[in-house]
Structures are given as structure tokens and as C-alpha cells.
Amino acid sequence: MRKISANWILPINSSPIKKGTLICDDQGTIQDILTEANRPPDVEQLDGMLVPGFVNTHCHLELSHLKGIAPSGTGLISFITKVVQNRDHDSSVILKAIEDYENHMIENGIVAVGDISNTSDTATQKAKGNLYYHTFLEMFDMMDEAQADQTFKQYDEAYNKFATHSKHKISAVPHAPYSVSPKLYELINAKNKANEITVSIHNQESLAENEYVKFGTGAFKTLFTSFGVNLEGFKPIGKNSIHFALQHLDSSKKTLFVHNTQSSREDIQAAIDWGQEVFWASCANANLYIENRLPDYQSFLDAGATMTIGTDSIMSNWTLSVLDEMKAILKYKAYLNFETVLEWATINGARALGFEKQLGSFEIGKAPGVNLLTQEDAHAISINEHTKLSRVI
């Protein structure tokens, strides 16, 4: 049994507790949360804030071997081209990078990951049970319905290589509004129909995406033509790209829209009105790395949107650290506050991935992991660029 006390405990689902104490068993399951008045003897006294383990709702762990391949600031089209040109490597290199960057996430206080997979490369590492994972087996046919059945079969073979156990969920998901045909959406929806899972989709990450879906023109058309993609079957819809996704996704499933840097207030509200449970993943440092742009967070706040935090891949970021994401958001959007963004990084992410019964908050019976945040002012309920993280449990 461990008795851990700090200047502050932030349970997430209730008010901060000054000089409180967490009582945890040897597996990290919380047995009790005590106030200063009920402080037991023989506690571990720490300086700083105790917060639950972080949830990274959007990552591409299988791209970990591509760190440094894509320079920052070159835009999404250039980034996609780099992925296509460079992702094939010797399997030993890929597997070693996957293991290394899973360890990197653990060291950075992450306990659960929503991980995009286009292959089964991460299956062996995930089966070790070091982290909770919701694997999003991502499919795309570049809007060519003639390729939908073969595409689905190819990805379904990878899907079947991921074991399901208490720390792992899996769902079939579409890549993005501009890259999945209506027929492939149908196959994906049918695959997920009987399962209580989350569906993830990259959304409105660049102006070119909205232009292509709305008008059928621009940089994505040029890119697809260069790849030899048959574009004859795609008909522009005259609306921003998220509306194409809303026409074809299953509104009964939890849905996680990722990036959203070009989402308007109307787009956000349309999605919230459409779905039963809609979540939004912000990957601030990746957005800065690729296109030097952040979402309009105020529009999400005004709509009452449920926000989460992702890191994207180490190919599109400097670290896989949710704390670093929080620092970036608060640095550039000072109207947000730490406790709000901490909810994004913990309970909201746990809910989005379907792990809220185990993770996301300090509650009796949960084993959410325990992180200690420290800085010069150990009594402040805030973070700054100098805040450091230590994983306690």
C-alpha cells in the first residue's frame, strides 16, 4: 500500500485538494483520497501537483522510425508525400522504433493511446499490455469505389492480427473525408456495427482539404493525379470536408475528429448536432510543425465541444508528450486555463477512447496512473514552460 501526498491533488472530477493524500494498492488502484485533516502517518511527501495519467488520443506509433524525415513548416501535402516515399523500412528498424517510442510515452506520463495503424506493425508491442490502446485500423481508397472491396480486404487482414484484451480495443476507421469513398465507408460501418468502439477520422487539417471536397480543385487533386488515382467517381459537395464525412459516418458511434485546424463554428456545430457522442482531438505541436496553425479553440469552447489531446507521430512532432501539448496550447492561447486543458488530457481522452471506467480521474477503484508536475512555485495550480513531469505510478 502506498500513501502519496503533495501540495495539491487534482482529482479532475472534483475540486483540487490541498495537501491531500492518495492511498493506492500495489497495482496502483486507488483505495482512498484523503484531505489534509485526515492525513495518515508515514506518507510519501512530494512537492508539486499529483494528476492522473495522461491520455494521448491521436498517435501514429508505427511511423516512429520516420523521425526527422519531414522538415517542419512545409505543409500537409509535402508531409503526406514524405510518408508515402519513406515509410518502407526493414522490419527490425520499425519494431525497435515502436518499442522505443512506446517507452518514451510511458516516461512522459501517458497511460492510454488512440493509435492510428495502417499495418499490423504495432500489434506485437501492444500485446505486451504496457499501455491501454484503442487501435484505429485506418483505411483509404482515395475515393475510388472500384478499389473499395479490395482495399477493405487488405486492411481487414491487418485488423485480425490485433488481439483484443482488457487493455486493447480496435475499430476500423476512415482516414479522412477526402480519401474514403462512400462504398468503403459502408464496409467500415458494417465492420464496427456490433462493437462498442470509437471511430476516428482526420479532419480539416488544411485549406486544401476543404477546397478539394467543396470544389474538386486544388493541391489534393494535383497530388492524387500524380499518384495515378482515378478521380472520376468523386463529386464535390459544395460544402467543407467534414460534411462529406457526416454524410457517411455512423452517428451512433463515438466519433473522434482529429486536428480540425480549418473547422468553422458552423462545421463544429453541425458535427455536434449530428452525433450521439462527438469528441475532438487537438494535436497542437503537430499542427505547428506541419502547417504552423492551431485550431480556433474559442469556437470549440463556445459550442461546448468535448476536447481531447493527441501528439500525432514523432515524424510530425518534437516529442510524444501530452504535457508538451498542454504547454503549447496554453502558450499560444492564453485565454484557456490549465485546469480546463488538464480535463482534455485526462478524463475527456479516457471517455473518447472508452477507458473512462479505468482511467482519467482519481476515483476509488480506478488505476489511472499518477503523475507529479513540479515547477519553481510548488504551490501553484498551473504549468509553465519549465514544468517537469515525474511518473509516480
Q: Is 49 helix (H, G, I), strand (E, B) or coil?
A: strand
| H helices present in 176-283, as ranges | 182-192, 207-215, 219-226, 241-248, 265-274
Smallest Cα–Cα separation from 107: which of 313, 388, 375? 388
Q: Kindly indicate the confidence band of residue 82, based on its pLDDT and cuts at 50, 70 and 90.
A: confident
Mean pLDDT of 28-32: 98
The full set of domains in the chain, from first to last, is 2-51+366-391 (2.30.40.10), 54-353 (3.20.20.140)
Q: Kindly indicate the confidence band of residue 245, based on its pLDDT and cuts at 50, 70 and 90.
A: very high
Residue listed under C-alpha cell 490485433:
162
Of all helices (H) and strands (E), which one includes residue 5?
strand 2-5
Mean pLDDT of 146-155: 95
Mean pLDDT of 190-202: 96
Given a contact cutoff of 8 angstroms between Cβ atoms, the answer to whether 284 and 312 are in contact is no
Residue listed under C-alpha cell 482534455:
344
Burial class, 196, CB count within 10 angstroms (exposed 0-12 / middle 13-18 / buried 19+) = exposed
Q: What is the pLDDT of residues 289-310, one digit of tens each?
A: 999 999 999 999 999 999 999 9
Q: d(Cα 331, Cα 383) in Å, to the nearest integer?
A: 10
pLDDT at 222: 92
**Is residue 89 pLDDT above 90, yes or no?**
no
Residue 200 CB neighbour total at 10 angstroms: 29
Q: What is the pLDDT of residues 343-386, one digit of tens each?
A: 999 999 999 999 999 999 999 999 999 999 999 998 899 999 99
Q: d(Cα 363, Cα 340) in Å, to the nearest integer?
A: 19
Smallest Cα–Cα separation from 258: which of 242, 275, 238, 236? 242
Burial class, 357, CB count within 10 angstroms (exposed 0-12 / middle 13-18 / buried 19+) = exposed
Q: In the structure grid, which three cell numbers stand for residue 386, read together?
A: 519549465
Given a contact cutoff of 8 angstroms between Cβ atoms, the answer to whether 363 and 30 are in contact is yes
The whole-chain average pLDDT of the chain stands at: 96
Sign of CA dihedral 142, 147, 153, 154: negative
Could you give the percent of the chain with pLDDT greater than 90? Answer: 92
pLDDT at 304: 98
Residue listed under C-alpha cell 523521425:
67
DSSP string, 315-339: GGSS---HHHHHHHHHHH-TTS-HH
Given a contact cutoff of 8 angstroms between Cβ atoms, the answer to whether 153 and 120 are in contact is no
pLDDT at 180: 96
pLDDT at 379: 87
Q: Kindly indicate the confidence band of residue 227, based on its pLDDT and cuts at 50, 70 and 90.
A: confident
Distance of alpha carbon 76 from its chain centroid, rounded? Answer: 18
Q: How far is CA 9 from CA 35, 132, 351, 361, in A?
A: 9, 23, 21, 11
Top pLDDT among 81 and 201 is at 201
